[in-house]
Amino acid sequence: MPEPLLRLAGVSKRFGRVVVADGIDLTVEEGTAVGIVGPNGAGKTSLFAIIGGELGADAGEIWFKGHDLAGVPAPRRCRAGIGRTYQVPRPFANLSVFENVLVCVEQGAGERGKAAHRRAIEVLDMTDLGAQPNVPAARLNLIGRKRLEVARALGGNPSLLLLDEVAGGLTDAEVEEFVAIIARVRATGITVIWIEHVVHALLRGVERLLCLAAGRVIADGDPATVLDSDDVRAVYLGGGPELVAGA
């Protein structure tokens, strides 16, 4: 069988008595989309930080494209093809939308000149920012900042895109726009792992769902089956139906 794009084996991390990753095993195949749900404090964002190299694991292994990532810093993981977004967008506020993406293309993908400009324009079109290239990032509204957050991550030409609650705080209509953006991203062959509390959006964008609780994977599989499991309902205080509705 071919090597999975991403493989985690026994990944653990704690801060004192607080465990954010507890022996996590995970494989993600190339071209797939995996969703992650779980209550606040479950370790979802910490898992992204560990995969991306911003947070070192205490134990376990992470393999990407068949290469062991032990000791590989975040910038090199980005160059290798791991891109991520953040719950709170982090644009360069004084730069334009185009300049924000161009910086990420040059620094993340290593492209220069006309090739870098072309890539930046492609990414802006993919994320519905093509009509706002010269707008200062500081002037964007919430959905604009979230689009730009995804565009900046895509600028690095990732093989794996880690999305952290990109639909949070958006209206229903804006969530629909983001679902369409993620569909376009997937159509290019990029593998996606998506953390989201707006579960109805997640269900339209992924074919596999994980639930994390206390740093552990407590369910993994078909999204409907995962959301209907007793363990998942228990960590959401019996909120299974609301989960499906996206509360």
Of 52, 138, 61, give the one whose Cα is nearest residue 95.
Answer: 138
The per-residue pLDDT for 96 is 98
Domains, the chain, in order of start with CATH, read 1-74+196-247 (3.40.50.300)
**221 phi and psi angles, rounded to 5 deg:** 160, -150
Residue owning tokens 């959401």? 236
pTM above 0.85, yes or no: yes
**What 3-state class would DSSP assign to 77?**
helix
The per-residue pLDDT for 27 is 98
The per-residue pLDDT for 154 is 98
106-146 pLDDT tens trace: 999 999 999 999 999 999 999 999 999 999 999 999 999 99
The per-residue pLDDT for 1 is 63
| 202: enclosing H helix or E strand | helix 199-205
How far is the CA of 66 from the CAs of 22, 124, 151, 152, in angstroms?
Answer: 23, 31, 27, 26
Stretches where the chain sits below pLDDT 70 are 1, 237-247
Of 244, 64, 44, 80, give the one whose Cα is nearest residue 163.
Answer: 44
DSSP labels, 184-199? HHHHTT-EEEEE-S-H
